[in-house]
């Protein structure tokens, strides 16, 4: 099945030293995506049912540890907002992952797996890119650079 083979190839890339940024579509149950990348130890978030929450969301500044994680470089975390999406859910944290941030509604927002090669963002990138959510775009770029070992 294609969705599983894609997830298997992504995990192979991570096993070979690469990095991945997984976004909301990877861990909502109605999007056909699977494979090894969603096994324990890989994806920081587990699959969850989409809740269809369309309201604007933001990172809860109070949930952030100081000093801030490097993925927040160049962002104004007090204004890190992004649109909601029908795929939105509250994914459970994998037992081996580290939670980096919660959303303003208390849901899991950003997490990294144990080997620091996969970051999960509970955000829908198409919604981010179609808005003025510049802080969220900077965060997404920083996550890509982090898993690539550039920051």
Q: What is the share, in percent, of the chain residues with pLDDT greater than 90?
A: 58
Half-sphere exposure of 122 (CA within 13 A, CB side): 35
- pTM for this one? 0.91
- Stated as kind and residue range, the H or E segment containing 15 is helix 2-15
Mean pLDDT of 93-121: 95
What is the domain partition of the chain in residue ranges? 2-147
Tell me if 113 sits within 8 A of 97, measured CB to CB.
yes
In this predicted model, what pLDDT tens digit does every residue of 53-67 receive, in sequence order?
Answer: 667 788 999 999 999
Residues 59 and 104: beta-carbon distance below 8 Å: yes
Helix (H) or strand (E) holding 102: strand 98-102
- Is 3.40.50.880 the CATH number for 2-147? yes
Tell which wins on pLDDT, 100 or 84.
100
> Which one, of 41, 132, 148, lies nearest residue 95 by Cα?
41
Question: What pLDDT, on the 0 to 100 scale, is given for residue 96?
Answer: 96
């Amino acid at each position: 099945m294609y969705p599983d083979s894609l997830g298997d190839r992504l995990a192979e890339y991570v096993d070979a030293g690469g990095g991945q940024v997984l976004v909301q579509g990877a861990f909502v149950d109605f999007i056909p995506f699977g494979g090894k990348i969603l096994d324990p130890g890989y994806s920081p978030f587990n699959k969850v049912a989409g809740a269809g929450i369309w309201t604007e969301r933001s990172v809860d500044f109070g949930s952030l540890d100081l000093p801030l994680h490097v993925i927040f470089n160049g962002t104004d975390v007090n204004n890190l907002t992004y649109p909601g999406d029908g795929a939105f859910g509250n994914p459970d944290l994998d037992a081996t992952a580290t939670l980096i941030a919660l959303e303003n509604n208390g849901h899991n927002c950003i997490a990294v797996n144990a080997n620091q090669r996969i970051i999960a963002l509970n955000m829908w990138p198409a919604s981010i890119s179609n808005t003025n959510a510049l802080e969220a775009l900077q965060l997404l770029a920083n996550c890509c650079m982090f898993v690539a070992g550039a920051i």
